[in-house]
């Protein structure tokens, strides 16, 4: 789309190229994190849900299985095609739209639930995105956010992880800490229902490279950064080698908020 900003254009190109790697066997196909975050919430039967930056459609499929009427958006047309097929294969219909997260093309107050999962670190403006989320949510509607994060008050780990992610995948923009996300969310009249941190193991750096089609030059930069990683950062990420594979534990934020009346 001609109105994409440079970051959105980079994301669209990256995920158009790599869309076929986000199929049924992708690590994101395990949507137990979505189920866990929503299980305690009394949500309307046949409510309307919007999955932003849907990628391969795994979250959209999880929502459809729960009984939601699902709309999905992404900057990648190839991703939307694959997501539509993923849901269609299980008998669900997906309403798919091409748009950036910072410009959601729907009227005010039309969705009961908005979700974004392992995608917000690609957004050019998380702040503008959350403002859009609050706008399109119905009163008392919910916003589900799951994404990689960085430790609060640990600038060394944040700087190291941001640089490595940028080398691995140039469409990466930034991770926000839990405190930063909570600040953006509450500033938009959304109250925090739950906010938890956990760590997810990334079992193989080579797989991580292949998922993003990291160039040989950038792979070398990442490997050098790992070789020279400060001990405090190594400890924070539990980075190690297991059977000739480089592994680490990726900090993940799972957050649910609700629109205040």
Q: If you search the block for the tokens 């400890």, which residue do you land on? A: 235
Classify residue 176: in a domain, yes or no.
Answer: yes
The fraction of the chain above a pLDDT of 70, given in percent, is 90
DSSP 161: H
pLDDT of residue 253: 97
Residue 47 is part of which domain span? 6-154+171-201+249-259
Averaged pLDDT score across all residues of the chain = 90
The CA distance from 172 to 243, in Å, is 29
The CA distance from 114 to 145, in Å, is 9
pLDDT of residue 6: 73
pLDDT band per the 50, 70, 90 thresholds, residue 178: very high
pLDDT of residue 207: 84
The CA distance from 252 to 145, in Å, is 10
CATH of the domain at 139: 3.40.50.150
The token duo for 138 is 């119905």
Closest CA to 98 of 165, 158, 15, 212: 15
Classify residue 124: in a domain, yes or no.
Answer: yes
The reply to whether the predicted model has a pTM over 0.85 is yes
Classify residue 36: in a domain, yes or no.
Answer: yes
Classify residue 221: in a domain, yes or no.
Answer: no
Number of domains, the chain:
1
Q: What does the pLDDT look like over 200-244, one tens digit per residue? A: 888 788 888 988 889 999 999 999 999 999 999 999 999 998 888
């Amino acid at each position: 789309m001609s109105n994409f900003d440079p970051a959105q254009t980079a994301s669209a190109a990256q995920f158009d190229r790599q869309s076929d790697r986000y199929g049924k066997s992708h690590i994101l196909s395990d949507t137990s994190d979505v189920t866990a975050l929503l299980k305690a919430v009394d949500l309307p039967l046949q409510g309307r849900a919007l999955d932003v930056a849907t990628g391969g459609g795994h979250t959209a499929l999880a929502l459809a299985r729960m009984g939601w009427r699902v709309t999905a958006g992404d900057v990648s047309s190839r991703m939307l095609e694959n997501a539509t097929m993923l849901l269609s294969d299980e008998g669900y219909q997906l309403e798919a739209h091409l748009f950036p997260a910072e410009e959601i093309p729907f009227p005010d107050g039309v969705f009961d639930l908005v979700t974004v999962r392992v995608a917000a670190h690609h957004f050019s403006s998380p702040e503008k995105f959350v403002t859009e989320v609050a706008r399109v949510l119905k009163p008392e509607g919910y916003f589900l956010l799951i994404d990689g994060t960085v430790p609060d008050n640990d600038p060394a780990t944040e700087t190291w992880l941001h640089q490595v992610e940028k080398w691995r995948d140039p469409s990466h923009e930034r991770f926000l800490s839990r405190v930063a996300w909570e600040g953006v969310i509450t500033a938009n009249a959304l109250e925090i229902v739950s906010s938890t941190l956990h760590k997810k193991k990334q079992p193989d750096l080579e797989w991580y490279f292949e998922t993003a089609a990291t160039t040989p030059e950038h792979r070398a930069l990442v490997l050098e950064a790992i070789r020279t990683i400060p001990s405090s950062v190594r400890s924070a990420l539990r980075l190690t080698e297991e059977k000739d594979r480089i592994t680490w534990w990726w900090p993940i934020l799972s957050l649910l908020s609700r629109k205040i009346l």
